[in-house]
Amino acid sequence: MLSIIGFITIILVVVILLRGKMIPIVPLVIIPLIAAFVAGFGLSDIGGFFEEGLSTVVNVAIMFIFAILYFGIMQSVGLFDPLINKMIQLTRGNIITISLGTVVIAAIAHLDGSGASTFLITIPALLPLYKRMKMNPYFLLLLIGGSAAIMNMVPWAGPLGRAASVLDMDVTELWRPLIPIQAIGMVLMLVLAFLLGQREKKRIERQYGTIDLDVEELTETSEEKEAGSLKLLGFNFILTAAVIGLLVWGIIPAGFAFMIGVSIALPVNYRTAAAQNDIIKTHAASALTMGTIILGAGSFLGILTGTGMLDSIAMDTVKVIPEAISSYIHLIIGFFGVPLDLLLSTDAYYFALLPVADQIGLTFGIPSLATTYAMIIGNIVGTFVSPFSPALWLALGLANLEMGKHIRYSLFWLWGISIILLIVAFFFGLI
């Protein structure tokens, strides 16, 4: 009976998340609450499950709130503008260097972990260049989306925070073994940019001949920032390097590192309380949205775990899995991770599918970390090929492109990179 209630609970949560009619916290809280009542648990029991679930994600929620605030401040004061502008200048006039530069620019722009801000920074800057050079705008979206998706492995971006909350572990501990995979992924994106850039160059020469670029026409100039960011560029760069260094070092919790960073960045870049309040309000919506999602996930997982639904689902599912593939269930899910992006939102993938896959894997002796890494690596490269990604719809609007054509253009290449990274992770011993 618990399995049936658990399955229905997960299916309802997934369907509601896919429909996008409610913000994630609503189904993550209400559906499991109703399910627990149906399963015969009282309010006091459910309250205990909630507290247990919340204790597993509160540090992650704090980290997300202050990380988004910190990088939002850095974006607002223009920390990344000179780097991006310099890359644009260096890549002008050559199809191959434009392609390679796009990958690098997207990686830099995605340091804040926000897909929306990445697309807002890169597409308006690079689309005129692509149009002038007669380059395919879907190629631009493939390179930005793929590069940003690999950068999405950073602990403050989203997927790792969700996975860490499911595993009840520190998100930076989860991230550290992925750093080599992330680096190899960026190398693969550069190789892909080089190869497809050559193909694009041949297509352009065949259709249009040689293209002469008007460099002056495409020069991007940074806006003067309210806080005088250009004068403070060096300080903000050192501060950001120090915060990221603390994350990698792991000597203090990630949330505390970003809390310190925000507390230093605010008075240095914004001298009055009113200005500091205004910049916090500017980025508070994004920070609180992610925070509420993580806390809602804590409630969801706490109730499903405390009631025994997850264990029951795993035990009953094991009975119908062919024994021949049981030891490879995590690899199979990882292999199909990118296509699953076409069916599941990020929340559904990590909050509904991962807990069940983890429980099934444990039954067959597969460590939780192996299952989690397989699912992260197999899925994350396809983050911005999913119709359930709001940031991707923003990108399509900015570039005036179609979702169907983008999926057809990008899916094959991004799925290929995810499979290669899975193989690499297997030989590294992660999965």
In a domain, 98, yes or no: yes
In a domain, 331, yes or no: no
In a domain, 61, yes or no: yes
In a domain, 50, yes or no: yes
In a domain, 100, yes or no: yes
Say yes or no to pLDDT of 224 above 50.
Answer: no
Residue range of the domain that includes 145: 2-318
Distance of alpha carbon 375 from the chain centroid: 13
In a domain, 377, yes or no: no
- Short-list 186, 103, 187, CA closest to 139: 103
State pLDDT tens for residues 337-363.
888 877 666 777 888 778 888 888 888
State pLDDT tens for residues 226-259.
444 556 888 998 998 898 788 767 788 878 988 9
Whether 141 and 397 have beta carbons less than 8 Å apart is answered as no
State pLDDT tens for residues 101-131.
899 989 988 887 777 778 877 887 788 778 8
State pLDDT tens for residues 378-422.
989 988 988 767 678 778 877 888 878 888 899 999 999 999 999
In a domain, 96, yes or no: yes
Q: How big is the chain, counted in residues?
A: 431
Q: How many domains does the chain have?
A: 1
Say yes or no to pLDDT of 213 above 60.
Answer: no
The whole-angstrom separation of Cα 172 and Cα 178 is: 10
Say yes or no to pLDDT of 205 above 70.
Answer: yes
Q: Give me the pLDDT at residue 85, please.
A: 65
In a domain, 425, yes or no: no
Q: Give me the pLDDT at residue 227, please.
A: 41
